[in-house]
């Protein structure tokens, strides 16, 4: 039995069998508790308000309100829940829009059990559940990125020089430990910088950092700021 409080999970999918399948898997984990289920985005919003889950497994395509809109509304409401999108397509345009809206990452519905559980634990910690390579592919495919630039984009003007360094490393998919080693900083200091960056740029999590870096042209696929 885990000594830490269980990770509260809400499963939102319009297919009852899909919800039941995920619940069966997650119920086997001592540190994860499925607190509620929802069949559409509107019901998901109500369940989040009632149960305050740490992680929401959110189907991307649903009737009434899809996962992208539900994610957007959760973020706008200031919800602390981390959203993992569920999809059957790894390069779905809606996946990109979900990331831009504030999703912490996405999972294919046929994800292996260990990857599902690991992703939920990562999301609960506030980590991005999405590889930088896949993020770049999504941005390249669905976003008309501006040309490379040498100056600092207006959207990033509020960041200090050190915060820009951290911003670029987060956008490259580096963990706090890796950033700390690269910049010779303590992990606690890096965590503080990341929190300030998210606050200054009004971003929900690290995935949105990646999206913004490419949308503004500050980073280009296959290139770095180094």
Task: Domain 7-129: give its CATH code.
Answer: 3.40.50.2300
Alpha helices in the chain (DSSP H): 16-26, 41-51, 67-76, 93-101, 113-125, 132-142, 161-171, 176-183, 187-201, 206-215
* C-alpha separations of 184 from 73, 161, 188, 212, 224 in Å: 38, 15, 12, 25, 19
Percent of the chain beyond pLDDT 70? 87
**pLDDT tens-digit readout, 77-105:** 989 999 999 888 776 778 888 888 888 88
Domain limits, CATH 3.40.50.2300, in the chain: 7-129
Domain limits, CATH 1.10.10.10, in the chain: 140-215
pTM for the structure as a whole: 0.76
Which has the higher per-residue pLDDT, 226 or 111? 111
Query: Three-state DSSP class for 32?
Result: strand
| pLDDT exceeds cutoff 90 at 162 | yes
Percent of the chain beyond pLDDT 90? 50
Report the alpha-carbon distance of residue 55 to residue 176 in Å, rounded. 21
Report the alpha-carbon distance of residue 19 to residue 23 in Å, rounded. 6
Report the alpha-carbon distance of residue 152 to residue 135 in Å, rounded. 22
| pLDDT exceeds cutoff 80 at 138 | no
Tokens encoding 62:
């649903």
Options 1.10.10.10, 3.40.50.12160, 3.30.1280.10, 3.40.640.10; CATH of 140-215: 1.10.10.10
Which residues neighbour 30 within 8 Å (Cβ) at sequence distance 6 or greater?
1, 2, 6
Other C-beta atoms lying within 10 Å of the C-beta of residue 134? 15
Average pLDDT, the chain: 85
């Amino acid at each position: 039995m885990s000594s830490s409080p269980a990770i509260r999970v809400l499963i939102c999918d319009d297919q009852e069998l899909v919800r039941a399948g995920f619940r069966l898997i997650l119920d086997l984990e001592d540190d994860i508790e499925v607190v509620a289920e929802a069949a559409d985005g509107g019901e998901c919003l109500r369940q989040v308000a009632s149960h305050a889950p740490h992680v929401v497994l959110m189907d991307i395509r649903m009737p009434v309100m899809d996962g992208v809109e539900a994610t957007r509304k959760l973020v706008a409401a200031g919800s602390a829940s981390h959203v993992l999108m569920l999809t059957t397509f790894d390069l779905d345009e809606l996946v990109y829009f979900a990331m831009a809206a504030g999703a912490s990452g996405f999972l294919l519905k046929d994800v292996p059990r260990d990857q599902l559980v690991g992703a939920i634990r990562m999301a609960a910690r506030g980590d991005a559940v999405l590889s930088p390579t896949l993020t770049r592919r999504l941005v390249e495919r669905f976003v008309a990125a501006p040309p490379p630039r040498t100056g600092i984009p207006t959207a990033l003007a509020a960041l200090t020089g050190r915060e820009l360094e951290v911003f670029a490393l987060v956008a490259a998919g580096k963990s706090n430990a890796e950033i700390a080693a690269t910049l010779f900083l303590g992990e606690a200091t890096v965590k503080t910088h990341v929190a300030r960056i998210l606050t200054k740029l009004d971003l929900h999590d690290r995935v949105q950092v990646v999206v913004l870096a490419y949308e503004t042209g500050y980073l280009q696929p296959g290139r770095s700021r180094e």
